[in-house]
A and B are shown apart, each in its own frame.
Chain A
């Protein structure tokens, strides 16, 4: 059926929308925001909060913007005195049953109830009666705390668990003013998507123990990024506290939230990704070290790269690079893998690049995938082979070994690693994290974590997603792409080519010229 355009007028603004569009959606298209609490675009409208009521010309009652489909010729007012009065009334009711503990509420600053009160409320409190007392600390999941006093019963959490995860751990119990969200007989919310309830909750009723009472939302810089913990490439927000100038150590990533991308992850992310971020900040290596004859010497980037270049250059000149081995990983960005391939395979003439990636994990049937690194597809599209590295293959005739990343330590036990690595004369480790590999190598180059760099990742379905650095690099670390370019410069190979590649974006453009997939 061909959808006819519906010509409507919202607040004197003419809009044309498709048939079946709701008033709320039509208003959005017209650039107007109609307040809503229970409505969420991912769920069937419930119409219970009643804050989105609007006036339709010719109808006696106010109607729900979230659930009413537009009809041709409809004239809608979202700001008439009746609408404003009704909205105010709903806000007043919600506030009467709300604890107003905003000073200690983690949602403060991004709470819909606060925002709407500012915009549509600003009334004096008329509620003189005793507030309902309810439980404020109810553990409903491993990491989730429910505060029933703050709850406005929008039931987004209930509907998420029934419509999206279909696990149905939460329901509404009791009746009237005593209505409450609860688990069934204390069986907790137990699925890999529980953290989304925190994002979904329009107020501070569901908070997670990772974020609870840790900081205030207005201190956080909210940056867009890509989750690196599996090959789905879920879009995320990374909320970063840049730190207080006079208090060292206060800069920190506080939380990860889902960012809508209907092509990739819808509006959700899994708990594995969401709560995996603290591990990204742990055990960081931040110093450039040369372990010369058993003593650690702190180096500068210039010095260490020229040292490495000196070791590589003679072999390049002699066209004898068969004793060089490189281990990469698919946590590296498209740009970094491209440079790696360019320098070591195309210019230095290595036959292959080895890969050491995180061990695969179980799929969860929704977003989380087996492949626990973000860019395997990118590597494959460049023609790199991702067979997991064997220690025997690595040690054969290897004289210089350059390892990117720390995953080798997860794949092999320390003693066999030591045995193999001891046989190799020069070992370089470029890694963002400490893993035990440090004790077996000679040069340690700290790499920036994935959230500290800019670049692009190719998800399992072949979508190339760009992302930017969320926070400054840790310590002396640098992103691998910059390390590789500097190395190429030191090696004095193809100087004209590499000196142009000053930014990941430029590198990606160059890739596009050379590899059709990245065009």
Chain B
């Protein structure tokens, strides 16, 4: 695979990317040699489902997909007494612009995810798991399929896993390229063969999910953290990160930095450290202008705001979000209007169209920005963008309303002067 170059740098102790340097880690033999599937063995043979859930809760593992919901708590919402089958859906529809962490896990260490899937399923009492993988990740999906086949061959999947009587089948489902299908309920609809429209909540997927059955939906990276929690215990994991936000994060740094790539670092590492120490700072001659800290939907931070811990609560505290921990670096030479145009175009293009504010609002915003970009901006356009984005924010059916409006709001507010300088003056 083309991406087996130097895509990660070793810093401190790793959880997910520890053996990424190995060229054939995705082969089960190599993975077993490195101690693979010991967590599964331990979980299934030595632990109880409730014990596992407890351990995950104690580990403070928060969802890595973007919303940061505590994973153990999510599992515990699944009703214990339901007579319906339960499902696990693995969200591998990595569509948030700037994000490429799950692709690395799936490509280089698919067995780590499979281990996570087995342990999670065992804990919740699930016998069928679906990996909903982004349509564009064709080769990645093939690699995952291969890994699943190997795991099944070794007896880690299928009937009576490790002679414990636990059965589990894992299916790979490729999406068709819609951003919205990364939203968990739209993902379920898509998996059921329907149009990827988000569902109204409640009911929540934990009670009424896939095929109307109780369902857990976890991100790839979230599940990939499970084996180490089982093997090394919750305190160890928690110790890696912060008090309520354990472990590491894979930060995907892109933009004009010296060494773009993924960096697995403790939760709470400062944004400045990520950019300047790990990614090597900006390329010679470039000056930092702004950073989008958590995937494109995260509100932008200005250059003077990067002395901040990269964890859910710290970023929420400054009005942004950690999201998928995709760090997009923007340099002084990049006009903010261009950034805004990209953002607006993306959300107008990816709005599923189900609810009014997002369907029409994103398109309206995009039209204004296109006009500004073509040199026909008028006085008041920036304020209008803020007004329209505010009318989307919080009023939509799914979180995409926030995803689409927050970056526009933050760009328009924080860079108002620059944006207004592109407008025709009052004579307009």
A residues apposed to B, CB below 8 Å:
45-51, 53, 61-62, 64, 67, 85-86, 89-90, 92-94, 96-97, 126-130, 132, 152-153, 171-172, 174-179
Other A-B contacts than A48-B397, A62-B395, A171-B195, 19 sampled, CB-CB below 8 A, are: A47-B397, A48-B356, A50-B355, A50-B356, A53-B395, A90-B356, A93-B361, A127-B364, A129-B368, A152-B356, A172-B353, A175-B178, A176-B348, A176-B349, A176-B351, A176-B359, A177-B351, A177-B353, A178-B353
- Does A176 contact B384, Cβ atoms closer than 8 Å? no
B27 within 8 Å of A (CB atoms): no
Beta-carbon contacts under 8 Å, B333-351 to A: 348-351
- Does A93 contact B360, Cβ atoms closer than 8 Å? yes
Per-residue 0/1 for B368-394: is the Cβ within 8 Å of any A Cβ (1 yes, 0 no)? 100100000010000010000011001
B6 within 8 Å of A (CB atoms): no
Q: Name which of A45, A85, A129 has the most chain B CB atoms within 10 A of its CB.
A: A129
Give Cα A97–Cα B355 distance, bound, in whole angstroms.
13
Q: Name which of B195, B200, B378 has the most chain A CB atoms within 10 A of its CB.
A: B200
Give Cα A72–Cα B34 distance, bound, in whole angstroms.
57
B4 within 8 Å of A (CB atoms): no
Task: Choose among A47, A51, A67, A179 the residue that contacts B353 (Cβ–Cβ < 8 A).
Answer: A179
A416 CB, nearest partner CB in chain B, Å: 59
- Does B200 contact A45, Cβ atoms closer than 8 Å? yes
- Does B395 contact A90, Cβ atoms closer than 8 Å? yes
Give Cα A94–Cα B364 distance, bound, in whole angstroms.
11
- Does A93 contact B396, Cβ atoms closer than 8 Å? no
Task: Choose among A46, A47, A127, A153 the residue that contacts B359 (Cβ–Cβ < 8 A).
Answer: A153
Which residues in B have their C-beta under 8 angstroms from that of A94? 356, 360
Give Cα A176–Cα B358 distance, bound, in whole angstroms.
8
Give Cα A130–Cα B357 distance, bound, in whole angstroms.
18
Give Cα A162–Cα B313 distance, bound, in whole angstroms.
44
Which residues in B have their C-beta under 8 angstroms from that of A171? 195
Interface pairs A-B: 4 shortest CB-CB: A89-B391, A179-B353, A177-B363, A129-B367
Beta-carbon contacts under 8 Å, B299-327 to A: none
Give Cα A338–Cα B350 distance, bound, in whole angstroms.
67
- Does A92 contact B352, Cβ atoms closer than 8 Å? no
Nearest CB to that of B349 among chain A residues?
A: A176
Task: Choose among B353, B391, B395 the residue that contacts A175 (Cβ–Cβ < 8 A).
Answer: B353
A153 CB, nearest partner CB in chain B, Å: 7
Which residues in B have their C-beta under 8 angstroms from that of A174? 353
B362 within 8 Å of A (CB atoms): yes
- Does B395 contact A177, Cβ atoms closer than 8 Å? no
Nearest CB to that of B363 among chain A residues?
A: A177
Listed by A's residue number, 19 A-B pairs whose Cβ atoms lie within 8 Å are A45-B200, A48-B354, A50-B357, A50-B397, A85-B391, A89-B357, A90-B357, A90-B391, A90-B395, A94-B356, A97-B360, A153-B353, A153-B354, A153-B356, A171-B195, A176-B362, A177-B348, A177-B360, A179-B353
Give Cα A152–Cα B353 distance, bound, in whole angstroms.
11
Give Cα A451–Cα B233 distance, bound, in whole angstroms.
81
- Does A179 contact B359, Cβ atoms closer than 8 Å? yes
Nearest CB to that of A67 among chain B residues?
A: B200
Task: Choose among B354, B356, B368 the residue that contacts A51 (Cβ–Cβ < 8 A).
Answer: B356
Which residues in B have their C-beta under 8 angstroms from that of A51? 356
Sorting the interface of chain B by its residue count into under 10, 10 to 19, 20 to 34 or 35 or more gives: 20 to 34
Beta-carbon contacts under 8 Å, B383-415 to A: 384, 390-391, 394-397
Name the prevailing secondary structure of the B interface residues.
Answer: helix
Which residues in A have their C-beta under 8 angstroms from that of B394? 61-62
B386 CB, nearest partner CB in chain A, Å: 13
Give Cα A128–Cα B377 distance, bound, in whole angstroms.
11
Which residues in B have their C-beta under 8 angstroms from that of A92? 391
Which residues in B have their C-beta under 8 angstroms from that of A153? 353-354, 356, 359
Give Cα A94–Cα B222 distance, bound, in whole angstroms.
39
Which residues in A have their C-beta under 8 angstroms from that of B361? 93
- Does A129 contact B355, Cβ atoms closer than 8 Å? no
Which residues in B have their C-beta under 8 angstroms from that of A64? 200
Give Cα A93–Cα B384 distance, bound, in whole angstroms.
13
Give Cα A51–Cα B360 distance, bound, in whole angstroms.
14
- Does B355 contact A49, Cβ atoms closer than 8 Å? yes
Give Cα A108–Cα B195 distance, bound, in whole angstroms.
32
Which residues in A have their C-beta under 8 angstroms from that of B357? 50, 89-90, 93
- Does B391 contact A93, Cβ atoms closer than 8 Å? yes
B132 CB, nearest partner CB in chain A, Å: 18
Give Cα A355–Cα B177 distance, bound, in whole angstroms.
66
Q: Name which of B367, B378, B390 has the most chain A CB atoms within 10 A of its CB.
A: B367
- Does A93 contact B356, Cβ atoms closer than 8 Å? yes
A89-B357, A178-B353 known; A129 vs B391 contact (CB < 8 Å): no
Give Cα A175–Cα B348 distance, bound, in whole angstroms.
10
Nearest CB to that of A173 among chain B residues?
A: B195
Which residues in B have their C-beta under 8 angstroms from that of A50? 355-357, 395-397
Which residues in B have their C-beta under 8 angstroms from that of A85? 391
A35 CB, nearest partner CB in chain B, Å: 12
Give Cα A504–Cα B376 distance, bound, in whole angstroms.
72
Task: Choose among B200, B353, B364, B390 the residue that contacts A96 (Cβ–Cβ < 8 A).
Answer: B364
Which residues in B have their C-beta under 8 angstroms from that of A129? 364, 367-368, 371
A279 CB, nearest partner CB in chain B, Å: 41
- Does A176 contact B364, Cβ atoms closer than 8 Å? no
Nearest CB to that of B364 among chain A residues?
A: A96
Which residues in B have their C-beta under 8 angstroms from that of A45? 200
Per-residue 0/1 for B178-202: is the Cβ within 8 Å of any A Cβ (1 yes, 0 no)? 1000000000000000010000100
- Does A47 contact B395, Cβ atoms closer than 8 Å? no
Which residues in B have their C-beta under 8 angstroms from that of A47? 200, 355, 397
- Does B353 contact A86, Cβ atoms closer than 8 Å? no
Which residues in A have their C-beta under 8 angstroms from that of B349? 176
A123 CB, nearest partner CB in chain B, Å: 11
Task: Choose among B348, B351, B367, B395 the residue that contacts A86 (Cβ–Cβ < 8 A).
Answer: B395
A36 CB, nearest partner CB in chain B, Å: 12
Give Cα A64–Cα B202 distance, bound, in whole angstroms.
11
Which residues in A have their C-beta under 8 angstroms from that of B348? 176-177
- Does A175 contact B351, Cβ atoms closer than 8 Å? yes
A80 CB, nearest partner CB in chain B, Å: 14
Give Cα A370–Cα B333 distance, bound, in whole angstroms.
77
A24 CB, nearest partner CB in chain B, Å: 14
- Does B364 contact A49, Cβ atoms closer than 8 Å? no
Give Cα A171–Cα B357 distance, bound, in whole angstroms.
21
Give Cα A175–Cα B363 distance, bound, in whole angstroms.
11
Give Cα A153–Cα B355 distance, bound, in whole angstroms.
8
Which residues in A have their C-beta under 8 angstroms from that of B356? 48-51, 90, 93-94, 152-153
Which residues in A have their C-beta under 8 angstroms from that of B362? 176-177
Give Cα A93–Cα B388 distance, bound, in whole angstroms.
9
Which residues in A have their C-beta under 8 angstroms from that of B390? 89
Nearest CB to that of B370 among chain A residues?
A: A129
A98 CB, nearest partner CB in chain B, Å: 9
Nearest CB to that of A87 among chain B residues?
A: B395
Which residues in B have their C-beta under 8 angstroms from that of A48? 354-356, 397
Give Cα A49–Cα B394 distance, bound, in whole angstroms.
14
Nearest CB to that of A126 among chain B residues?
A: B384
Beta-carbon contacts under 8 Å, B163-180 to A: 178
Which residues in B have their C-beta under 8 angstroms from that of A49? 355-356
Nearest CB to that of B394 among chain A residues?
A: A61
Which residues in A have their C-beta under 8 angstroms from that of B195? 171-172
B129 CB, nearest partner CB in chain A, Å: 28
Give Cα A172–Cα B359 distance, bound, in whole angstroms.
13
Which residues in B have their C-beta under 8 angstroms from that of A86? 391, 395
Nearest CB to that of B347 among chain A residues?
A: A176
Which residues in B have their C-beta under 8 angstroms from that of A132? 363
Give Cα A349–Cα B364 distance, bound, in whole angstroms.
80
- Does B367 contact A130, Cβ atoms closer than 8 Å? yes
Which residues in A have their C-beta under 8 angstroms from that of B200? 45-47, 64, 67
B92 CB, nearest partner CB in chain A, Å: 21
- Does A175 contact B360, Cβ atoms closer than 8 Å? no
Which residues in A have their C-beta under 8 angstroms from that of B355? 47-50
B404 CB, nearest partner CB in chain A, Å: 10
B187 CB, nearest partner CB in chain A, Å: 16
Which residues in B have their C-beta under 8 angstroms from that of A61? 394
